[in-house]
Structure 1
Amino acid sequence: MRQRNRRQGRRTSEGDGGRDRWLITYADLITLLLIFFVMMFAMSRLDVEKYEAITQSLQHTFKSGDSILEKGSGITGQADKNTHRNPDTAKKPQNSGSQELTERELAFRKQEQELQNLMQVISQYVKDNRLEDQIFVADEPQGISITLSDQFLFDVGKADLKPGSAPVLDKLASLFKNLSTVISIEGHTDNLPIVHASNYKDNWELSGARALSVLRFFLDQKHLNPDEFQYAGYGDTRPVGDNGTEAGRQKNRRVEIIVLRQLQE
């Protein structure tokens, strides 16, 4: 009996010790995790002096370089040296705290002043000659638009200029002579089909022929530079009025002369 109790005591003691063995493994795992995070922290520490040196170097590089998109030399200073177009930021003089305007910016400003002067002169000419119902002048995003009614320029279904249109076209030619921009001449019609007696197949041909007649006046009679002009016929695809009414169709039959906001290369 005494021997049996001794054996049971031994088993109980061994069982209690076995249940606590997992604590050793757990402690080892925690120790390893601690060592791992200590190593990660040590590896992630920055050398402050090296970081500041690299930062200053990058800032200097990006400030001194220019964009290769505009044929500049790039941040390395090696790209497109022979076709450099961007202003040199290191040598550009300062004027009252602001950078000096580039030649292209000055050219745009000069052109804008010319366009505004052109609009004032034409508007005054239209008013003085009481042509408000025949000629319309507007400042559009693409440029100064001068709209001429087809009643003022052409007979119905024709593209030959009326003699009475010559004085106005003469005035426009004298104003266009000194402009350094592109002038677009665009013909437009209403949506009514062309009659069989017309010399033109459809409104596309008629609108293009009318724009060409105005262009020919400027080139052949006034000898303006052909490089400064372009023309197109749009038929009835760009109406400004309601083609369902006679008044709207009359607005759509027109020639637009647009002095573009566009510098010549």
Structure 2
Amino acid sequence: MPKKTHEEHENHERYLVTYADLITLLLGLFVILYASAKVDTPKYIVVSKAMRNFFTGSGKVIDRGGARGGLMPMLPNPSKTGGEEAMTRMEATIAEAIERMAATNGTAAGTAGEGTDSTSHIQVEMQERGSVIHLAESMFFDPGTAYIKSEGLRALDVVAPSLKTTMRLIRIEGHTDNTPIQTTLYPSNWHLSTASAITTATYLIEHHHIPSVRV
């Protein structure tokens, strides 16, 4: 007489394995969401400000209150060597120096009966490449020469402190008028404009001790 085979009972609890995995994943998701929502506000503000300063090129990465080592200087950013904040500081510094120079010129004019205002020829503007300081050529050089006049030297003395304190690169461009020149010393206007820029850079390096690697 053949043995009776017992039918295997179906495992109706297999779904619990999948259910447990799903619950575990959901628990992990909620833990991550909770950790993300619980933000340390002071630290978040410091990091947020540091990132904003980094991408705007203000020259400071972490504020003194948020970093143990104090301020951390940022490497020069050639594409944004100025920044609105840096230009504002530079304009303020130059404006103060201009006021002092104007007062000095006014005193000298009252004493000697004449004076040359070299401060009205200095302008600062913000361009895509950074902060640009315009110095009028007429107060710097006589036509056909690359020797800086006294008015030009005083103008350089005004802007030099701002250039010295910043860690950004300094680009000096020499420009000449449209009058053709062809002399032994300056065969072309290109030679003259280059000589003018070199003379200006040399004065800033030698008299105001601006590092040559930045000029």
| Alpha-carbon shift at residue 147 of structure 1 (Å) | 1.1
The structure 1 residue matched to 2:169, chosen from 182, 185, 191, is 182
Q: Larger % of strand: which?
A: 1
- The CA deviation string for residues 167-199 of structure 1, in whole angstroms up to 9 with x for no partner, is 2212222222221111111111233211x4462
Map of 2:94 onto structure 1: 122
Q: Which TM-score applies when normalising by structure 1? A: 0.45
Compared CA separation, residues 97 and 219, structure 1 to 2 (3 A): closer
| Alpha-carbon shift at residue 152 of structure 1 (Å) | 0.7
Compared CA separation, residues 183 and 96, structure 1 to 2 (3 A): same
Alpha-carbon distance in structure 2 between the residues aligned to 1:144 and 1:123:
15
Q: Specify which structure has the bigger relative contact order, considering alpha-carbon pairs within 8 angstroms and separated by 6 or more residues.
A: 1
Compared CA separation, residues 220 and 125, structure 1 to 2 (3 A): closer
Map of 2:188 onto structure 1: 202
Corresponding residue SS for 2:172: strand
| AA in 1 matched with 2:134 | T
Alpha-carbon distance in structure 2 between the residues aligned to 1:147 and 1:110:
23
RMSD: 3.6
- The CA deviation string for residues 1-45 of structure 1, in whole angstroms up to 9 with x for no partner, is xxxxxxxxxxxxxxxxxxxxxxxxxxxxxxxxxxxxxxxxxxxxx
Corresponding residue SS for 1:122: helix
Compared CA separation, residues 209 and 180, structure 1 to 2 (3 A): same
Q: Which TM-score applies when normalising by structure 2? A: 0.55
Alpha-carbon distance in structure 1 between the residues aligned to 2:169 and 2:144:
29
Map of 2:5 onto structure 1: none
Please identify, of 121-130 and 137-146, the stretch whose mean Cα deviation from structure 2 is larger: 121-130
Q: What are the within-5 Å matches in structure 2 for residues 222-261 of structure 1?
A: 222-229=208-215
Map of 2:58 onto structure 1: 109
Q: What are the within-5 Å matches in structure 2 for residues 1-265 of structure 1?
A: 94-95=40-41, 100-101=47-48, 103=50, 105-107=52-54, 108-110=57-59, 112=83, 113-126=85-98, 129=102, 130-131=117-118, 133-194=120-181, 196-197=182-183, 199-229=185-215
